[in-house]
Amino acid sequence: MTGKQLLPLLQKISIAWLKTPPHSIPKLNYARAPALVRVYSVLPPSIAYLEKERAVAIEAVESASRVCQAVFKRLVNEETLTKKDKSPVTVADFGAQAIINQILEQSFPNDPIVGEEDSKDLQGDEGKVLCEKVVGLVNTAVEQPMSVDEVLRAIDRGQYEGSGSGRYWTLDPIDGTKGFLRGEQYAVCLALVIDGTVRLGVLSSPNMPWKMSEPDGERGVLMVAVEGQGAFQRKLGGGSELPISTSSVADTAHATFCESVESGHTSHTDNANIARLLGITNQSLRMDGQCKYGAVARGDADIYLRLPTSETYVDKIWDHGAGNIIVREAGGRVADVYGRPLDFSLGRTLRANRGVVAANVNVFDAVIAAIRETLDKKSKA
């Protein structure tokens, strides 16, 4: 039987396949499931699209997440928060980027990386103490100890400028630094961009509750999506992947916003005006980093707004790459405030876009209309 002849069969069992992510099928025991393994062996190559990249990205993000958790437990305390000392998150930021870049280089040495950090603050006498902490942290997570030069080089692999052709990775080692310091929400985010489009995203939220309805319950969520394969989540540290999907809320009056904790990242006043136009009265879910995308992707919230706080601010691609594809593969829509898709082909920023909107498909158009009305009134005031 050829791969083409199998397509009707695959359509009939697609629901069952969603419960078993495609990348896990080759690991099945042939003796226990011979028919399914035989099916897999003749499937078109596209079924295993980005299988290796998916596995490596999960390993990289999970390794970096463990390091971030260790830094928080060891270095963040009440005195740190009182003094607003950002050194722990700085150590974790550099360490996480070095670890992710090193793991990517081992598997994909020719892939460039767009990262948030560079090593200039770790150079020379002024950066010596911080550099020693970062190197020590990295060496708790890698198999082969890395020298200072190797760690600095790994960090600086993230200086690629981006492109509209070819492939590259983009990462935010800690998205939501203030959330990290507060012991609240932050995310470790990695995405693969091919020919200007995000094709793969992995997002770890170490402090996100496994069930949002149980905020004091088990924490730590990893989400992953590959173009055309759906979105999944599992517990951080391992376990079975489960498919996730955006909510089915169709009446905006019953919808819930997800927005940034920090007012510098989005206009809370504009958000409130938009909520009024949409008839939304539910309390907003506020959290830091791309965890907001995750909340929309699994139906904890219905709408994520990141409205521009100034005419000159431009979003960075690493702040949206992973979350963007996870929401889309979960059945949602992502665009800027004018309804235009996010353009990852123009370098390190989303300079062709203004703001970000992510929502389930049922309310998306109504949200865009309310945003336009709000911004039009604001511009005429």
Which amino acid type is present at position 308? Answer: P
What is the DSSP track for 296-350?
HHTTS-SEEEE--SSSS---BGGGTHHHHHHHHHTTEEEE-TTSPPP--SSSSB-
Is 93 an annotated catalytic residue? yes
Residue 369: both structure tokens together? 């209309």
Residue 324, Cβ neighbours under 10 Å: how many?
27
Catalytic residue among 93, 156, 172, 300: 93
Q: How far apart are CA 361 and CA 341, in angstroms?
A: 14
| Residues recorded for the chain | 381
Nearest one of 230, 213, 179 to 300, comparing CA atoms: 213
Q: How far apart are CA 282 and CA 269, in angstroms?
A: 16
Q: Which residues of 142-169 are buried (b: 16+ CB within 10 A; e: fewer)?
A: beeebeeebbbbbbbbbebebbeeebbb
Contact 375, 337 (CB under 8 A): yes
Catalytic residue among 90, 170, 177, 374: 177
**Which strand (E) or helix (H) includes residue 52?**
helix 51-75
Residue 305: both structure tokens together? 């707004």
Greatest Cα pair distance in the chain: 71
Q: Which residues of 281-307 are buried (b: 16+ CB within 10 A; e: fewer)?
A: eeebbbbbbbbbbbbbbbbbbbbbbbb
Residue 172: both structure tokens together? 């935010």
Residue 143: both structure tokens together? 């198999």
In order of 12, 13, 36, 193, the CA distances from 16 in angstroms are 9, 5, 12, 29
Q: How far apart are CA 288 and CA 102, in angstroms?
A: 26
Give catalytic residue positions.
93, 177
